[in-house]
Amino acid sequence: MPLPHWTAAKTLPPGRHAADLADIYERLVFDAPHQNEREILFSALNSYLGVARRIINTGRAWVGGAFVTRTDHVPDGLDVVLIPDEWGALKRLDGAGRSALYGLLTLRGVIVGQPAMYLDQVQPVGGILDGFLCRPGDEDTWEEVWAEGDRGFPELIW
């Protein structure tokens, strides 16, 4: 089912809208200004979700940020919240699996070693994507944030 048309406010209508990557490409790249910049963001999203699906067997992803608007401003990034169907499977990930999962997430206030340094923020995909993980029971909070200002957003399910 394709994503709905843009509202007068240049957003998707309020609510979650089931989509696949082809729907997202059609509405958020092909049917929006700044297609070249949006192509880069779409490629980042596609790659990001490919890795996420290898770690999280079944779940959903909500896509937000400037990418999900049709304004004349160049979108500088996109946001993705991952909602796993089975939280227990993530808790059972081995060390390599956990490292891969953490690599998908935006981290703030990070201290790394060798050489030791403090980083304000670490983002996946070269910093053009913010990735978040929704804990069980926090879906309503995330939905409020994603729908702020009566905006709609795509939901991908795998």
What tens digit of pLDDT does each residue of 83-101 get? 999 999 999 999 999 999 9
List of residues 6+ apart from 69 with CB closer than 8 A: 10, 11, 75, 151
Any idea which of 17-31, 67-81, 120-134, 138-152 has the lowest mean pLDDT? 120-134
Position 129 in a domain: yes
The pLDDT of residue 157 is above 90: yes
Position 35 in a domain: yes
Position 27 in a domain: yes
State mean pLDDT over 48-63. Answer: 97
What tens digit of pLDDT does each residue of 3-38 get? 999 999 999 999 999 999 999 999 999 999 999 999
Position 142 in a domain: no
List of residues 6+ apart from 158 with CB closer than 8 A: 49, 53, 58, 59, 60
- Please report, as a single letter, which amino acid is at residue 13: P
Position 113 in a domain: yes
Position 9 in a domain: no
From the CA atom positions of the chain, what is the Rg in Å?
16
What's the pLDDT at 116? Answer: 79
Q: Number of folded domains in the chain?
A: 1
Query: Residue 132: enclosing H or E segment and its boundaries?
Result: strand 129-133
Position 71 in a domain: yes
State mean pLDDT over 133-137. Answer: 95
Residue among 60, 71, 72, 78 at smallest CA distance from 139: 60
Find the domain containing 41 and state its range. 15-135+152-157
Q: Which two tokens stand for residue 93?
A: 């990930």
What's the pLDDT at 98? Answer: 93
Count how many Cα atoms sit within 13 Å of the Cα of residue 157 in the half-sphere of its side chain: 6
What secondary structure letter does DSSP report for 7? Answer: -
Position 30 in a domain: yes
What's the pLDDT at 10? Answer: 94
